[in-house]
Each structure stands twice: as C-alpha cells, then as structure tokens.
A and B are shown apart, each in its own frame.
Chain A
C-alpha cells in the first residue's frame, strides 16, 4: 500500500523519462532508449501502466516505447502521442507494429492527440495531470508548419509539456524539449506556471533559435522553481549550456540545480569509488559512476512536497567529488559559503 504518491525522474542518460504513481495507477511520461525505465518499473513492482504520454517523436523521448509495448510482463492501457512528420519513418512503422501486438495481447489503446484539451483526463488517485502545451491549433499545423505568428514549428516546438498537480498545488513541470517558439505559445496560453520542480527543456541545450540566457530567465521567471533538473547524458552533447545556467541563476538564485549525470564541464574524470549518495532506484550512470543527482524520487504531498534529503546528499556529493560544478558557477559568493 502506498503512503503517498510518487514522482520519479529517471537518469536515462541523454533523454527524458518520468513515472508518476498513485493508488489508482501509473503514468509514464516519455520513453527513451535503455533499460532504466523497465528496471524502475520492476524495482517498484509495476506491471500495469494506465497512460503513456509521449511528449514528441525524437528518439530520446520515444524509442524506448517499443520495448515497453513489446514487454509481455507489462500491461499498457493507453498511449497518447501527437502526430509528427516522423510518421513516414521506419521507427514509426516499428511503433505501429508494437502497438498492434500490444493491442492484441492486452487491448492497448492509442490516442493520436496529446494537447491542452486533455488536461484532467489522465488523473490518477489524488494526482492531477495537466497538459500545458501544445494547443490543438499548433498540432494542426504540426512540425514543419507554422504557428499563428508564422514562426516555423519543429518537433521541439510542439513538445507536450506536462504539469503534475497535487492538492491544488503544482509540484512539477516536465518541459520535454520545448523551444523558444513553443514556450512563447505556452506562456500566452497558461495563466500561471509556477511550480516546485522544473525538468528543464531540451536537457539544458539550445532552445531553438533564441538566446539561451534570455530563454532560461523567462522560463524561470514564470515557473519560479525551487528545484531545476537537467536530464543529461555525460557522453552526449555539452549539456547543460552555460548560458542556460546563467539565465536560470539570475532568475531563481536560490533554486537547487541538479543534473542526472555528471557533465564533463563539471569534472573531467569520474569518481573512482561507487556512489553512496544515490537512492536504490536504477540509474543509467550508476554502473560507470557517471551519476550526479542520478534518479530522483519525490514523495508528492501538495504544498508540503519536500526533497530536502535528496538535495542535501546531492550537495554533499558535489562538495566532495566535483571540481568545477557548473551549477555553482553563477552563485553569489554568500551562497557558496
């Protein structure tokens, strides 16, 4: 029996994945490559998923759904995904075949719309799920089209942004890969975006054509997170971008910044000893000692949601093991003490 709902932000390397569970079921948001997700489900004895939400069709968000759908030990009830130009690709056909197999085995249903109109339709137990972006109008244009201001839309622009709300309090925003165009549309649509936790878009990489620092400032000004998570892979890309960190710090100087894996910008060499600061959940970087924050587990409890113990152990790890932590680069001197 669960004592309180749980939000798990997984260390999947470069990619995004989150699991929300409460008494009434489990929701998975994004399915990247690798086995971290399947192992996490095994670790929590989860054999049924009520909804899988796919934010957009980039491989680091979608490729792992084929493994989940094909897995005969996991029953998946519903998959929600927006259409995209990837529909013509081989991997899209692979996905359709995996969906057909899952439908025949366990009556999995698929919905080809994941827009703001779906808010409230994925609630589980006491956890409400918001779809903050994209609007149906953006999806009608789709990747390759334009928004109402005639700006070009990419797969990232139409990323689904998901809010996790408990007891009328927004605990987290999972921002997928939303870029400057998508964010501009989102900020015009939503009345409030404040949240405790922000899983920063696009792994802290370039937000499309706009200025990275300004993007981070504007996003953090609107969301005011206490915890910012960058879901990154140590060996792929140079994330998070320094300008993003600078923008976030200037907006929310007190926020705790946590990367799932150790960026090469923070330390050129990995710790030689096994990590002791991580929880028991699977984390892709664990085997190679590449974890920084690793996989994060948050007990959801409305306005009283806390993650102080995880933050404390993460801070201690950085103190002891990380030479040039980018998360502290723009901290004012008094906060470094």
Chain B
C-alpha cells in the first residue's frame, strides 16, 4: 500500500494569505497523499470562525503563521493551530519567519503546536510526517521532545517586542549556555510585576527539546530565595 492510497480519503486545509505559496503547499499536500482544500481569501475576525470552516471541510490543516499582514485574519496562524489542537485536528504551522517569530508570537501558543516547519523544509515527506506526528500526539503519545517537566527558569532581562513585554531567561536544566525569550503574558498576571533580572521561576518546560524554537513554557510559579545558611554558600 502506498502513502497515497493510505491517506487519499483525507482532506488537509491549507491556510495561507499568499495564493501562490498556498498552491505550492497544495502540491506537496497532494504528493503526500491528501486532498488539499485551499483557504487564501476572506477576512476572518474570530479564530473560531476559521476553525469551524476547517473542521467542516478537512481533517487536518497546514497553516501559515503570518495571516495578519494581508488581512486574511486578525490573528496569527499559531493561534489557529492551537485552537485546532483543542479540537483534536492535526495541524502544522509553517513560516519563513522562524527566527523573528519563534520566541514571541509563536511561543505564546507553542504548547499546542506539535510541529513547526520552516517554509524551506516543507515538502511532501515533512508534511506527511508532520501530520502523522500531530495525530500521534493528539492520541496521547507525547514524544520526549514535547513532554514538559517542572524546572527552574532564571530571568536575565526584561525587554519589549511588538509593544509587549518579553522575558529573556536561561533554563539551566535544558541548556545552561543558551538564553531563550518568551512573552511575559505567559506568566500569570499576579507574578508579572515581580519579573526582573536574577529572579528565578519554576515552570513546566519541555526540556527534552533539541532547539530553543521548540521550547514551550507553562504553569509558572515564583521560586524561593535560597537560604543563606544552607551550608552551600
């Protein structure tokens, strides 16, 4: 049985505000053995509206991240993929802006984005594998790279990006030599005013991730100050 025969009864929605890129993705989706359903026109004001459109027409989705620029939607593709995750629809996020967006507008929703593809990595095989990986995760098979564990997050700086506060931090239990950025809005409101350099938080982080782009953060708590008399100074 070929891949095409296995999947040819499934439809994958392609959400992209660029018609030409949507069509290129559609070829890859077809080659991967799915029927493409293109969504490149319209003005979606509410993520649930677009989710409903996808759910009514497809069993999976490949979503571009920057949908706002051309006015296709007033939300990011990352938010759409996360909403589809809640509806158990396997969905991939594609972007050519990984370096700019991974730590901020994508990080906000990263827990519910099992697969993030750079545009130049997206082809039939990566799309087929991505849909397979998403489906597996939605069935409860969380790979070690995506499973979160409670660990320490050490803040090094508070900055601003796109008019929002962002936190630069180290996750020493993941990689003590690589700083990562995440939006302050991920931290519960009552803790946000306490965010400053050298403050430690506990958070649940997928410390098995290979790359910083793949990290997600949730369930923040303020960590205690160390005791001066703990015998370890």
User: Known interface pairs A35-B144, A39-B144, A94-B200. Does A87 touch B232 (Cβ–Cβ under 8 Å)?
Assistant: yes
The chain A residue sitting closest to B231, CB to CB, is A112
Could you tell me if A91 and B172 are in contact, using CB atoms closer than 8 angstroms?
yes
Could you tell me if A38 and B149 are in contact, using CB atoms closer than 8 angstroms?
yes
Could you tell me if A101 and B149 are in contact, using CB atoms closer than 8 angstroms?
no
The chain A residue sitting closest to B145, CB to CB, is A287
A72 contacts the other chain (CB 8 A): yes
A63 contacts the other chain (CB 8 A): yes
User: Known interface pairs A33-B175, A70-B202, A94-B200. Does A110 touch B230 (Cβ–Cβ under 8 Å)?
Assistant: yes
Could you tell me if B147 and A100 are in contact, using CB atoms closer than 8 angstroms?
no
Could you tell me if A67 and B231 are in contact, using CB atoms closer than 8 angstroms?
no
Could you tell me if B172 and A90 are in contact, using CB atoms closer than 8 angstroms?
yes
A66 contacts the other chain (CB 8 A): yes
B151 contacts the other chain (CB 8 A): yes
Residues of A with C-beta under 8 A to B208: 34-35
- Inter-chain CA distance A39–B143, complex, in Å, is 11
Chain B, 158-207, CB within 8 A of any chain A CB:
170, 172-176, 200, 202, 207
A307 contacts the other chain (CB 8 A): no
Would you give the shortest CB distance from B198 to chain A, in whole angstroms?
A: 9
B233 contacts the other chain (CB 8 A): yes
Could you tell me if A94 and B232 are in contact, using CB atoms closer than 8 angstroms?
no
Q: Interface residues of B toward A: which range? A: 20 to 34
Partner of A97, one of B145, B207, B223: B223
B120 contacts the other chain (CB 8 A): no
B227 contacts the other chain (CB 8 A): yes
Could you tell me if B170 and A110 are in contact, using CB atoms closer than 8 angstroms?
no
Residues of B with C-beta under 8 A to A38: 149
Produce 1/0 per residue, A90-125, CB < 8 A to B. 111111111111001000001010000000000000
Residues of A with C-beta under 8 A to B143: 287
A64 contacts the other chain (CB 8 A): yes
B42 contacts the other chain (CB 8 A): no
Chain A, 59-99, CB within 8 A of any chain B CB:
59, 63-64, 66-67, 70-72, 83, 87, 90-99
Could you tell me if A90 and B170 are in contact, using CB atoms closer than 8 angstroms?
yes
Residues of A with C-beta under 8 A to B149: 35, 38, 67, 70-71
Residues of A with C-beta under 8 A to B202: 70, 101
Binding site for B on A (CB under 8 A): 33-35, 38-39, 59, 63-64, 66-67, 70-72, 83, 87, 90-101, 104, 110, 112, 282, 287
Query: Can you offer 16 A-B residue contacts whose CB atoms are under 8 A?
Result: A33-B173, A35-B147, A35-B149, A35-B207, A38-B149, A67-B207, A70-B173, A91-B176, A95-B232, A96-B226, A97-B152, A97-B223, A98-B152, A100-B224, A100-B226, A110-B232
Binding site for A on B (CB under 8 A): 143-145, 147, 149-152, 154, 170, 172-176, 200, 202, 207-208, 223-227, 230-233
Additional 4 contacts, C-beta under 8 A, given A96-B226, A110-B232:
A33-B175, A35-B144, A100-B227, A104-B224
